[in-house]
Amino acid sequence: MTAREPARRVTARDVAAAVGCSVSSVSLVVSGKAQGRVRVETQEAIEAAIARLGYRLNTTASALASGTSLGIGFLSPDPTNPFFSMVLDGLGDALADRYALSVLVPTGGSDYDRGTVRRALAGDFAGLLLASPSERLLDDFVPTCPTLLLDAGGPVNGLASVDVDLREALAELAAHLTGLGHERIAYLGFRRDKASVQGRRHQLDRALRQRGAVLHPTTVELTELTESAAQTAFTDTWPLWRGAGVTAVVCGDELFAYGVLRSCRVLGVGVPGDLSVVGFDNLPYSSLIDPPLTSVDLSARLLGQTAGRALLGLIGDGAVPGSSRVPARLVVRGSTGAPRRPTGQPAAR
Amino acid sequence: MTAREPARRVTARDVAAAVGCSVSSVSLVVSGKAQGRVRVETQEAIEAAIARLGYRLNTTASALASGTSLGIGFLSPDPTNPFFSMVLDGLGDALADRYALSVLVPTGGSDYDRGTVRRALAGDFAGLLLASPSERLLDDFVPTCPTLLLDAGGPVNGLASVDVDLREALAELAAHLTGLGHERIAYLGFRRDKASVQGRRHQLDRALRQRGAVLHPTTVELTELTESAAQTAFTDTWPLWRGAGVTAVVCGDELFAYGVLRSCRVLGVGVPGDLSVVGFDNLPYSSLIDPPLTSVDLSARLLGQTAGRALLGLIGDGAVPGSSRVPARLVVRGSTGAPRRPTGQPAAR
DNA sequence: ATGAAAGCGCTAACAA
DNA sequence: TTGTTAGCGCTTTCAT
């Protein structure tokens, strides 16, 4: 009567013993490097034994011996935010079959900080992706593995980055709004020491100026990325903006736009008759709310895919892919239209 | 002139050499087991050297030597779906400080299959979480590490599970609808060989029967989890349902409810006057759409937290926590109300 | 074509 | 309290 051991996992040595070959041969077969180095018959015998014994490569040991890791770390301010979910999805598309995607969830708080990054650095990843990092975080960041920035507003500290190219979309937006007869436009954004976030307002401002419109100097900057914060802020600020002849408001985040729309409903402000509203992200829900939201689509999934490929390059040959840009595009929906009381020329329609 | 080597990573041996102690002591200090086994002065010297040299534990080697893994695998049909994002977030809450959360992205396709699971099993995880698995998948699933099911409709194959308890919420829903005067209610759901999904309709049916209402026999079952599929299906089926006196429709997924609402808008069906609409999930956007959606909140985040703790237990002491249930709760909003033409007693209000 | 052997960096007995 | 030692399972020379 043999004592049943607690199901020891099958190792390459077991396979080798069963076949009557060495572990080296097993290793070669498993890693697909057997071509011309292991006799075909031996290969077949090994493969048969693997199937029969139920052998699975111990990835930990493999990683240690070969000095290569198998994980990619993904850091984002909020895994719950659809934008980052979609980036993650695209990322998985590009590299999930070769690497394990580790999502680092920020420990308490609305954004990830040095502590979270430290945890990530302890993870021995093959590569690291920092999504929408704050500038302050990057200041003293020292990479310990190929690291790529996403939506950081451009390369920082010599780290490659993948970003959204807003130029065309914002030019389109400016043309769209001014074409409808809007001349005074307000901005309600996110207060963050992030170049990517600040860039939105600046680039919009420039695009508008080129078309003779102007961004109202009173820009609301929220510190909390929620719909209700935006609703409150808009309710407070709207009298000022209305008094200044503002007929359109652009929101630096889609959630803010939702809040503004709700506030409009409560205040009885007609959208788009009294006010046109524009968001940033084009979440899947923006076509469902009422009125459907005009939005700048940040191409989150494509962004993730692009980042995945770039990271693959970084890890593979260490070739720094510089920084790539994925174009955003404007999606026009019912929340924008001609202002009811155009200040300049009368609106068509 | 010394040749600059390519920045070899600092190892425990380097630290030991710098301090003049053995690697064992370093290991003990790093793993926090030095209490009473290493002299305090030595500990301090080691810590100083670690900081000075920038030593970081090689988690791969550590895992190999100690035989413990550091990763938790998370499998979900669609990482983009807010429900699973929120589950993941809760999961991270419970165990991100001790484990690395690996998200396995399904390779092409709307749900994860054996191939994805195989990849997961190759990952040498300390634990595995399968969210909303299909039954067919579980049929021949052989766990290789502590595995927990989430939203599987109960334990399967001896695997522990964490589930949503719908009973109370559905009883409330039945009371809510019948109380408003609804007697004929339709169901539009997701076709999946998943107990958790099928259970929704069955339990609702039972709850309604207890209150004298009835689920219309024509149940629409979609195979695609999108808003537009629901819109099309509802547009096709509404004449039939209306003819049968249906005054409320319950949707097995929130996205479906969005599609139904849109269809109603197009068809000119008044919500909730002509038709009350109910969803499942209570996504954050459901309070923003028009009219705001009444929904059964599945407590996704709490579900994730509960699962995280259960998995911790499974990994830790191997104690199978059986299966736990997290109660859902009904959130009533504007999309439900008294039917305009009550078939039975006249509705109040 | 094949296998013996030397690590990868760490942990955990065990000896001192 | 400390150091020595033997692995963990695999990869990778390097002989044969």
pLDDT value of residue A122: 82
Report, in ranges, which bases of strand C sit under 7 Å from a protein C-beta: 1-5, 7-13
Longest Cα–Cα distance of chain A, Å, equals 97
Quickly list H helices, chain B. Answer: 12-19, 23-30, 40-53, 59-66, 82-95, 114-121, 135-139, 167-180, 195-209, 227-243, 254-267, 300-316
A48 touches chain B (CB under 8 A): no
Any idea which fold B167-299 has? Rossmann fold (3.40.50)
User: Within 10 A of B205 (CB to CB), how many other CB atoms are there?
Assistant: 18
B37: CB within 7 A of chain C nucleic strand: no
Helix (H) or strand (E) holding A262: helix A254-267
Enumerate the residues of chain A whose CB falls inside 8 A of the CB of residue B123: 59, 100
pLDDT value of residue A347: 42
Return left, alpha or beta for B262; rule: phi > 0 is left, psi -120 to 50 is alpha, else beta: alpha
Burial class (CB in 10 A: 0-12, 13-18, 19+), B55: buried
- End-to-end CA gap in chain B: 91
pLDDT value of residue B346: 44
Enumerate the residues of chain A whose CB falls inside 8 A of the CB of residue B284: 227
Cα B281 from chain centroid (whole Å): 11
* pLDDT tens column, B70-81: 889 999 988 888
A66: CB within 7 A of chain D nucleic strand: yes
Put simply, the chain A residues between 84 and 103 with a CB less than 8 A from any chain B CB are 85-86, 88-89, 91-93, 96-97, 100-103
* Tokens 């980042």, residue located: A307
Write the residue in B73, B92, B285 that is nearest to A285 by C-beta: B285
A24: CB within 7 A of chain D nucleic strand: yes
B211 touches chain A (CB under 8 A): no
Least Cα separation, residue A210 to chain B (angstroms): 35
Write the residue in A86, A91, A104 that is nearest to B96 by C-beta: A104
| DSSP summary character for residue A159 | B
**CATH class of segment(s) B71-163+300-326:** alpha beta
Average pLDDT, rounded, for chain A: 89
Closest CA to A283 of A253, A252, A260: A253
* pLDDT tens column, A78-94: 888 889 999 999 999 89
State how beta strands B329-331 and B294-297 pair: antiparallel
Report the percent of chain A where pLDDT is more than 70. Answer: 93
**Assigned token pair, B178:** 């019948």
**Please, are residues A328 and A168 in contact by the beta-carbon 8 Å criterion?**
yes
Which of B288, B293, B303 best tests the A interface by mutation, with the highest count of A CBs <10 A?
A: B288
Cβ separation of A144 and B59 shorter than 8 Å? Answer: no
* pLDDT tens column, A138-189: 888 888 899 999 999 888 888 999 999 999 999 999 999 999 999 999 999 9
Cβ separation of B80 and A85 shorter than 8 Å? Answer: yes
Quickly list H helices, A122-221. Answer: 135-139, 167-180, 195-209
B110 has pLDDT over 80: no
Put simply, the chain A residues between 156 and 185 with a CB less than 8 A from any chain B CB are none
CA dihedral of residues A128, A133, A135, A137 (deg, nearest 10): -60
| DSSP summary character for residue A293 | P
In the structure, how far is the CA atom of residue A312 from the C1' atom of nucleotide C9, in angstroms? 26
Which of B80, B128, B225, B254 best tests the A interface by mutation, with the highest count of A CBs <10 A?
A: B80
Lowest mean pLDDT among A5-9, A335-339, B31-35: A5-9
The architecture that CATH gives domain B12-57 is Orthogonal Bundle (1.10)
* pLDDT tens column, A76-134: 988 888 899 999 999 998 987 788 899 988 876 667 888 888 888 888 899 999 999 98
Least Cα separation, residue A209 to chain B (angstroms): 33
Put simply, the chain A residues between 304 and 343 with a CB less than 8 A from any chain B CB are none
Write the residue in A64, A86, A103 that is nearest to B103 by C-beta: A103
What is the Cα–Cα distance from B285 to B293, expressed in whole angstroms? 9
B27: CB within 7 A of chain C nucleic strand: yes
Cβ separation of A124 and B59 shorter than 8 Å? Answer: yes
- Residue B108 pLDDT class (50, 70, 90 cuts): low
Question: How confident is the model over A57-64, as a mean pLDDT?
Answer: 94
User: Within 10 A of B24 (CB to CB), how many other CB atoms are there?
Assistant: 12
What is the Cα–Cα distance from B284 to A193, expressed in whole angstroms? 26
Q: Would you kindly state where each structural domain of chain A is located, as residue ranges? A: 12-57, 71-163+300-326, 167-299
* pLDDT tens column, B253-271: 998 999 999 999 899 999 9
What are the Cα distances from residue A259, in Å, to A228, A268, A329, B288?
6, 14, 22, 8
What is the Cα–Cα distance from B55 to B27, expressed in whole angstroms? 12
Enumerate the residues of chain A whose CB falls inside 8 A of the CB of residue B122: 56-57, 59
What are the Cα distances from residue B91, in Å, to A165, A344, B59, B87, B94?
34, 54, 22, 6, 5
What is the Cα–Cα distance from B337 to B345, expressed in whole angstroms? 15
* pLDDT tens column, B202-223: 999 999 999 999 899 988 999 8
A342 has pLDDT over 50: no
Domains A71-163+300-326 and A167-299 share a fold: yes
